[in-house]
Amino acid sequence: MPQREADCRALARRVIVFPFAVMAVFWFLVIVSQPAQSQTYKVIYNFTGIGADGANPYAGPILANGNLYGTTYLGGSDGNGTVYRLSPSGSSWKHTSLYSFNGPPDGAGPGFGSLAIGPDGALFGTTEGGGYFGSDFEICSCKGKEVQIHQFGRGTDGAQPLGGVVLDSAGNFYGTANLGGTLGDGTVFEEKKSGNKWTEITLYNFTGGNDGINPEAGVTLDAHGNLYGTTSTGGADGYGVVYKLSRAGSGWKQTVLHTFHGKNDGANPVGGLVLDKAGNLYGGTFDGGVNGGGVVYKLSPSGKGWKFSTLYSLTGGYGGPYNKLTLANGNIYGFTEAEGANGLGMVFKLSPGKGGWTFTDLYDFVGGSEGAQPYGSVAVDKDGNVFGTTNTGGSQNQGLVFEITP
CATH number of domain containing 126: 2.120.10.30
Strand partners, 404: 41, 386
Domain extent for 238: 5-319
Q: Is residue 275 part of a domain?
A: yes
Q: Tell me the mean pLDDT per 10 residues along the chain, length 406.
A: 40 36 28 54 97 96 97 97 96 95 96 94 96 95 83 95 96 97 97 93 96 97 97 96 95 96 95 96 95 95 92 86 96 94 95 92 96 96 97 97 96
Q: Is residue 363 part of a domain?
A: no
The confidence score (pLDDT) of residue 143 equals 65
Residues 137 and 304: their CA atoms lie apart, in Å, by: 40
Contact assessment for residue 115 and residue 136, using Cβ atoms and an 8 Å cutoff: no
> In the chain, how many domains are there?
1
Q: Is residue 324 part of a domain?
A: no
Q: Is residue 136 part of a domain?
A: yes
Nearest to 317 by CA among 16, 10, 15: 16
The confidence score (pLDDT) of residue 316 equals 77
Strands (E), 141-231: 146-151, 165-167, 173-177, 187-194, 197-205, 220-221, 227-231
Nearest to 72 by CA among 94, 90, 93, 46: 46
Nearest to 227 by CA among 163, 286, 296: 163
Q: Is the dihedral of CA 207, 269, 123, 170 positive or negative?
A: negative
Half-sphere exposure of residue 220, counting CA atoms within 13 Å on the CB side?
A: 23
DSSP string, 331-360: EEEEEESS-STTSS-EEEEEEEETTEEEEE
Beta strand 173-177 with 187-194: parallel, antiparallel or unpaired? antiparallel
Strand partners, 297: 283, 310
Q: Is residue 230 part of a domain?
A: yes
The confidence score (pLDDT) of residue 7 equals 39
Q: Is residue 366 part of a domain?
A: no
Vertex 16, ends 14 and 19: CA angle to 5°?
Answer: 130
Residues 367 and 370: their CA atoms lie apart, in Å, by: 5
The confidence score (pLDDT) of residue 28 equals 30
